[in-house]
Amino acid sequence: MIKFFDILIIILIITVLQVLAMFLIWLERRVLGLWQDRLGPNRVGPAGLLQPVADMIKIFFKEDWVPPFADKKVFTIAPAIIVTTTLLSFAIIPFAPGIIIADLDIGILFFLALSSLGAYSLILGGWASNNKFALLGAMRGASQMITYEVFMGLSVLGVVMLSGSFSLKTIVLAQQDGWFVVPQFVGFVIFLIAGIAETHRLPFDIPEAESELVAGYHAEYSSMKFGLFFLGEYLGITLVSVLIVTLFFGGWLGPDFLPPVVWLTLKTFVFLLFFILLRAALPRPRYDQLLAYGWKILLPLTLINLMITGALVLYLDKA
């Protein structure tokens, strides 16, 4: 039976994540402005802090138009899928000792399953739009997410071998003597690249490449339906960042002069800034280059990393 404390944690986490998504919109614009030698948002509120609020109000009051040629039911449901699956994935994240919604023994598998379901948001949204640019974006998104989900799943198996568990809480506790990023550096790099591709952020924003596909899979969306896709993207980069910290950088672990949840937040913030920096620094590869890079480079590296990790674990167990 769900206790009152569990309900309070759920409400708190959902509220914080929504506020954080709004803050990231402002942070991305300000940081990109700094790196590109321009101002960024600076009119609405102090330092432009109220710009996301103004954007949200505008999205709420824009016309919610559904194309007459679209499959209306699927068109309406598609944006909600990415937000739902991403929010459900946060249920397994151990934010601090005692602050976790569901400490599942199959936590990593739960995340991978939900990330696979999240691909349906792009596919159904692009297909239901009945627009050739949206359909092309959906096809790109489907192949990209399916491709990089393979490497994302394989890249964390080294961490599973070292910790002996799929539970994220157990994985964090197993890093008390040292972060897994040291023995699993290759797995960390591959998981990071796969996370960028999964969230289709620059430079891997190929499903929504404006210069090629107008806006890709969400070309026909407006108002809050477009807002849900937007929210899902920022929730996605937050989820990938906190997972990287949990799997490879000790999660909430840190010196005692700061609370555990603060250490998790600070580490996650570093990777959020990294996601933003990528947008300012790297060009978009071609679609065929992205898929070839995955299958020809990342797959062999992942398998080699797994074989070496497995051999070392067996050797140390017998020693």
d(C-alpha 15, C-alpha 38), whole Å: 32
Give pLDDT, residue 191. 92
Give pLDDT, residue 202. 77
Give pLDDT, residue 104. 85
What backbone phi and psi angles, to 5 degrees, belong to 180? -75, -10
Contact 27, 276 (CB under 8 A): yes
Can you read off the two tokens belonging to residue 232?
A: 């899902």
d(C-alpha 316, C-alpha 319), whole Å: 5
Residues found in the chain:
319
Give pLDDT, residue 211. 67
Asked whether the predicted pLDDT for residue 150 surpasses 80, the reply is: yes
Digit-coded pLDDT (tens) for 37-79 = 888 888 888 888 888 888 888 888 887 888 888 888 888 888 8
- CA angle (178 as vertex; 174, 181 as ends), nearest 5: 95
Other C-beta atoms closer than 10 Å to the C-beta of 306 total: 17
Check residues 210 and 35 and name the one with the higher pLDDT.
Answer: 35
Digit-coded pLDDT (tens) for 20-38 = 888 888 888 888 888 888 8
Of the pLDDT bands very low, low, confident and very high (cuts 50, 70, 90), residue 210 is low
Contact 156, 108 (CB under 8 A): yes
Digit-coded pLDDT (tens) for 194-207 = 888 888 877 787 77
Asked if omega into 203 is within 30° of 0 (cis), the reply is yes
Digit-coded pLDDT (tens) for 274-305 = 988 888 787 778 888 888 888 888 888 999 99
Contact 122, 142 (CB under 8 A): yes
State mean pLDDT over 116-137.
84
For the chain, give every domain's residue range: 65-318
Give pLDDT, residue 319. 63
Give pLDDT, residue 143. 82
Find, among 209, 203, 198, the residue nearest to 238 by Cα.
Answer: 198
Check residues 157 and 41 and name the one with the higher pLDDT.
Answer: 157
Asked whether the predicted pLDDT for residue 178 surpasses 90, the reply is: no
Give pLDDT, residue 32. 85
Report the percentage of the chain scoring pLDDT > 70.
Answer: 97
Digit-coded pLDDT (tens) for 245-256 = 999 998 888 888
